[in-house]
Amino acid sequence: MDRRLAPYRSQVTPGRRDLGRIESLPAVRILTISTLTLVTGGTGFLGRYVIEQLAARGDRVRALVRREDAGLRALGVEQHVGDLRDAAAVATACQGVDIVQHIAGVAGIWGPWNTFYEGNVLATQHVLAACRAHGVERLVFTSSPSVTFDGSPQNGIDESAPYPTRWLCHYPHTKALAEQEVLAANGSGGLRTCSLRPHLIWGPRDPHLLPRLLARARAGQLRRIGDGSNLIDMVYVENAAAAQLRAADALNSNPAAAGKAYFISQGEPVNCWQWIDELLALVGIPPLSKSLSLRTAYQIGTVLEGVHGLLRLKGEPRMTRFLATQLGVSHYFDISRARRELAYSPGVSISEGMARLKQSLGG
């Protein structure tokens, strides 16, 4: 919400002899206090791009961080040090805020339930409580398309797809629980909410997807899963960040946006393994030549999950049921609702994004 402090204007019409004196007065500037947005996860991959885009358009930004960040300081970001699992710290960070971009969360294919529950569900409950307590007007939650994934192919599904009745790992399960709380909170105490589901965020400064792919490929541990024909959606990071801003704006201008979830992607599915080969080629790694059937990969994942759980091994299994199906079946989405209600459009094409990624890698 823009708060404009306009100068007092007299309702008395000036006489003729007063006009010259009035016209000679210096112009009075209108002081505008820009919207204040709190970003959780502001030092993360997506969160930092969101902050950069907010700062570029002149919005005031506050970030809830675990430790001070020099890069955010250079952008003029107000930083509150705290943990999302600490309700008091979250409440303090939300004071005086107009919008919350709740991007932080615990991602991964393996780990204890409590780690995911506290980082995704409990943290979101604290954000919602703080928003209500301090009259925050808008909340955009960063979810995941995996909240609808049970291992079956998803060919162009839209937001009417239900939450599954079985879960292949704790991450999508806890994100779904958090998303449902966010959407249920819409309209509570004047708070307007929505949830975005960006899929496979990639681009320069990616600390997750690309480094893991490259490490496995260089170690000879990356295999094509399935017959190599599955299609997937993904989204370039600057487009994902722009969607977050579009959503917050839409919550202010379009009542239809409130209380809904939105798939976010490039809007053009790609062949999963051809794209992975293109990513590997950016750093001179040859295309994959070895493969596993989806059934074999799923069985291996089942066994490795059992071994890791039984023996309480550190780290994560090299294969899991969730990973096997994510890599071996099609999952792409209809983003018509986001285009229509959020005015979202992927401004950076896949080819342009790949060119920027290659340049960032020194290619």
What is the Cα–Cα distance from 103 to 140, expressed in whole angstroms? 8
Axis crossing angle, helix 237-253 with helix 45-56, rounded to the nearest 10: 60
DSSP string of 132-167, one letter each residue: HHTT--EEEEE--GGGG-SSS-EEEE-TTSPPPSS-
When pLDDT is averaged across residues 233-260 and rounded to a whole number, the result is 97
> What are the tens digits of pLDDT across the range 52-108?
999 999 999 999 999 999 999 999 999 999 999 999 999 999 999 999 999 999 999
What is the Cα–Cα distance from 179 to 120, expressed in whole angstroms? 9
Contact at 8 Å (CB) between 202 and 239? no
Query: Edge to edge, what strands does the sheet with 260-264 contain?
Result: 78-81, 60-65, 36-40, 99-102, 138-142, 192-198, 260-264
When pLDDT is averaged across residues 188-210 and rounded to a whole number, the result is 95
Is residue 39 helix, strand or coil? strand
Q: Are strands 270-271 and 231-232 parallel, antiparallel or unpaired?
A: antiparallel
Contact at 8 Å (CB) between 35 and 99? yes
For the chain, percent of residues with pLDDT exceeding 90: 88
Task: Say what the pLDDT of residue 34 is.
Answer: 79
When pLDDT is averaged across residues 140-152 and rounded to a whole number, the result is 97
Give the model's confidence band at 240: pLDDT under 50 very low, under 70 low, under 90 confident, else very high. very high
- In sequence order, the β-bridge partners of residue 332 are 155
Is pLDDT above 50 for 9? Answer: no
Give the model's confidence band at 33: pLDDT under 50 very low, under 70 low, under 90 confident, else very high. low
Give the model's confidence band at 4: pLDDT under 50 very low, under 70 low, under 90 confident, else very high. very low
Task: Say what the pLDDT of residue 6 is.
Answer: 36
> What are the tens digits of pLDDT across the range 258-296?
999 999 999 999 999 999 999 999 999 999 999 999 999
Domain over 33-360 is classified CATH 3.40.50.720: yes
Is pLDDT above 60 for 25? Answer: no
Q: Where are the domains of the chain?
A: 33-360
What is the Cα–Cα distance from 163 to 112, expressed in whole angstroms? 21
- Residue 54 CB-density burial (10 A; 0-12 exposed, 13-18 middle, 19+ buried): buried
Give the model's confidence band at 183: pLDDT under 50 very low, under 70 low, under 90 confident, else very high. very high
User: Which has the closest alpha carbon to 223: 171, 277, 269?
Assistant: 277
> What are the tens digits of pLDDT across the range 108-134?
999 999 999 999 999 999 999 999 999
When pLDDT is averaged across residues 181-205 and rounded to a whole number, the result is 97
Is pLDDT above 80 for 143? Answer: yes
Task: Say what the pLDDT of residue 362 is.
Answer: 85
With 0.85 as the threshold, say if the pTM is over it: yes
- Share the mean pLDDT of the chain: 91
CA distances from 262 to 45, 98, 347 (A): 20, 22, 17
Backbone φ and ψ for 50, nearest 5 degrees, come out as -60, -45
Is pLDDT above 90 for 178? Answer: yes
Task: Say what the pLDDT of residue 22 is.
Answer: 39
Give me the catalytic one of 171, 236, 298, 332: 171
Is pLDDT above 60 for 330? Answer: yes
262 is catalytic: no
User: Which has the closest alpha carbon to 43: 66, 26, 13?
Assistant: 66
